[in-house]
Structure 1
């Protein structure tokens, strides 16, 4: 599709408007077999409010009680800056290479196939643990409303329902996520408005203001509390990078991916920083409900705020809101985990049967396998929901730092190869901000947080917590060196990196090309839309 060498043996990139390949305009991706069915609005809403589940609404209670309101803001702020850095790196390489395997395959192409395997399996670990946590939260909400059905019974019902929905295809998934994301945003806006009225004394006449920042205070346990919050925050932010996984199934990646990347900024400001600020403003960090609640919602700062305002029945409203976020989060977790397995199966990083799709572009074996890992949530039957939640959070937290750091490193290696093969940043459809400082910051910050996130288990010494917090660090290198030794892979030199495969046009350009509308004959309204 692309010519990589000119007669002088120098790499060239022909202008996009002169490069036409019919594979670019097929509704089924010829490389991965998935359907290009996600619209730009689907991907944008996934970037803005996707994967906002009970982790943010419920897990913030544990973070607030363990670190205090200042730690919550610091944690969300610092991890948010890192997430923004990662999304800039991801936007540059994913816009250029939207097809097949996202950053897992790009890690193999830009660094080393063994590196891609380690990144891929760590990314899958994130999503099967997140999936297990969402199932954990959902079954406990249903048990709270009616305990006539046991936890495992609710799990089997949910497992079957979500499996059937995933079989409907990616367009159905995207449409559901779009509307569920709108509901989540509306719910957060409603809580923010309530918080403003409540702290100003407009609910019961009690002017709360910044009372809880003074008593019990902004910090709990000093730096130990701050370090603990980082683990929770990384779990809450996990999913921002999922737009790269969905890019292959997007109709218009050159339009949709950059737009989705920009949406993440507003997600950080409105969703995460907004939640951290208002949770700390309306809920004291020493509230007994945060650690002794009988339901999942009683662990949420939102419920504490409603009850302090005088509405004791608010637990049911928050439970309903959390249930909606659970439905969205489970749906998205199965999608991301299954696509990760699909791409790894096709790249010989996982069993080959996982790489199969049916004629509709649905990866059935990968979906079934990913959803099966949700059964890890059943550990709450023996360990208790809150304990199971803590174990799962620790695993997904350190995996997030490892994967994010790998994305930054892949971006750095891509730019080195891009320059070595004669290209400039003017040849890129999307240029990340502040390269190379932004990419090196993302790499260094994630390495630091991967090591510091288990700080709270050093004093007092907690063997189980320490192992849970750090077990995935050596596992990453075991996978990397194990695969490297067995399959004798090599670390690519910049001149050897494949910079041509995986590039494609937007699906909806096919009609424009047929009608000759890509040039000056294009209607004024279409030129305006394309500029926007």
Structure 2
């Protein structure tokens, strides 16, 4: 393919695309399936508190990202911000950390798609479904950014519509209009409910809740290819916050009201067993016989959507790093349609090789998946740090907040709360492994932390970088999309 002489990505994402991509990125199997295990551990009240606190933290995070993205929109945003506002070494570490996370996640998602398809075709080899899924998302991402935006818009819309239907059916079931008998709020006071295990258990499931919100930062990635980021990003942040809070909180409320936390179905919740998805159980109790097939189709859509978003995010991050000098220059070249085709090809190869290891070397695959486990939270730490430094530098250099197109909420409280909670979540991933001195489990759980430190320290030593003084930080508003050449 011939290359575009400007070597920059093309804008093509509409405001509706950005809003729905950010929303769809945070609604997946974490809500549709794994939410059941959270309720079984902490009770309906504990689950609500955990998701509410995590939702508020994510809102602070998104407003921080929004303030920077509207001031300086760029594809692969937050790695660029870390290098621009904190230290180039941090930008280098954040960029490769995030690229690695999504490249591995694509492999995980195409493996999961095969497991979900076995619900209908149990005797077909799983690798066939994985190959079809990978080919599908590769084609979508290779066509144009508009094709990606449209695909994500409609797949996200399927998830949103499903939640609306679920909430309507759930409320009717609670009041006995569907399902045959009145339930009310009896399960909220059943045995130890609503708060099972008290504060320690709420903190324990807080970690699980965090994974459910992974993907909301995609709004920062899409800013670089939005037609009007200064309109699209603030609107997406506003819409996504309220929708996520309402969807998650109301959905968990309905599940907690209809299914007692002691139900063995909730205890067995896993991301690939649609038969015991709390959504499926609620639909069945309402008398909907086709619930399992419908929810399996929705979960398959969620998995493909996640893989599609992962391919886009990792490709754009690699492209952005090439323009910052953090990756080979060839990764920053685009074709006539503005697609960074070399970055897309490399990401696809890594995802494919990771998938092959799941067949040929399961232990290697498990370590690769583990290595990407905390990278989302590490990226959130980078966003909070970058925004804290950006705003301090902005004020120190004599600028007025009126100059900013969008203001983050509750600065500096927002980024500080985000930093503290993210660090708590990272440290609290597997506390019992430290108590038992289980070094293998410690390694599997926390391997991404030393990997990021190695990237950061290695770049810092090689290039002798330093923390950028606040009066030297470049906070001038600019559209770096026009400077990527």
> What SS does the corresponding residue of 1:68 show, helix, strand or coil?
helix
Instruction: Find out whether 1:285 has 2:261 as its counterpart.
Output: yes
Q: Deviations over 1:371-411 (max 9, x none)?
A: 344447748967999x9999888655532222112211111
Describe the superposition over 1:284-322 as per-residue Cα deviations: whole angstroms up to 9, x where unpaired: 334333455796212411112233444454211110111
Q: In structure 1, what is the equivalent of residue 137 of structure 2?
A: 162
Distance 1:494 1:139 in 2: 50
Closer, same or farther: CA 94–265 of 1 in aligned 2, 3 Å: same
For residues 229-267 of structure 1, what are the alpha-carbon distances to aligned partners after superposition, in whole Å with 9 as ceiling and x for unaligned? 223222211111111111110111111111112112213
Where does structure 1 lack aligned partners over 5 or more consecutive residues? Answer: 1-27, 507-532
Corresponding residue of 2:307: 330
Structure-2 residue corresponding to 1:119: 94
Give the structure 1 partner of residue 331 of structure 2: 354
Question: Structure 1 residue 417 and structure 2 residue 393: aligned?
Answer: yes
Change in CA separation of 1:475 and 1:92 when aligned onto 2, cut-off 3 Å: same
Q: Name which of 289, 306, 314 aligns with 2:291.
A: 314
Query: Is it true that 1:503 corresponds to 2:466 in the alignment?
Result: no
Residue 85 of structure 1: which of 32, 43, 60 is its match? 60
Structure ID, larger Rg: 1
Partner of 1:481: 457
Q: What secondary structure does 1:121 align onto?
A: helix
User: Does residue 52 of the first structure (1) align with residue 34 of the second (2)?
Assistant: no
Cα deviation per residue 1:190-219 (whole Å; 9 max; x = unaligned)?
Answer: 000111111212223222223333346335
Looking at structure 2, the residues matched to 161 and 476 of structure 1 have their Cα atoms a distance apart, in angstroms, of: 31
Q: Which sections of structure 2, spanning at least 5 residues, go unmatched?
A: none
Work out whether residues 100 and 343 of structure 1, in 8 Å CA contact, stay in contact via their aligned partners in 2: yes
> How many Å separate the matches in 2 of 1:479 and 1:72?
36
Aligned counterparts, 1:106-255, within 5 A: 106-215=81-190, 217-220=193-196, 222-223=198-199, 225-255=201-231
Shift of 1:109: 0.8
Name which structure has the greater RCO, CA cutoff 8 Å, separation 6+.
2
Instruction: Determine the C-alpha separation between the residues in 2 that align with 1:79 and 1:390.
Output: 27
CA contact (8 A) 1:48 1:266 kept: no
Matched residue, 1:342: 319
**Contact preservation (8 Å) 2:87, 2:466:** yes
- Kept in 1: contact 2:258–2:282 (CA 8 A): yes
Q: Counterparts of 1:232 and 1:364 in 2: how far apart (Å)?
A: 35
Quick one: which of 34, 58, 64 aligns to 2:9? 34
What residue is the counterpart of 1:260 in the other structure?
A: 236
Q: CA deviation at 1:486?
A: 1.3
8 Å contact kept, 2:358–2:365: no
The SS at the match of 2:451 is helix
Cα shift at 1:475: 2.4
**More displaced 10-residue stretch of structure 1: 290-299 or 465-474:** 290-299
1:264-275 matches, cutoff 5 A: 264-275=240-251
Cα RMSD between the aligned structures?
3.1
Indicate the larger mover: 459-468 or 113-122. 459-468
Counterparts in 2 of 1:63 and 1:493: CA distance versus 1, 3 Å: same
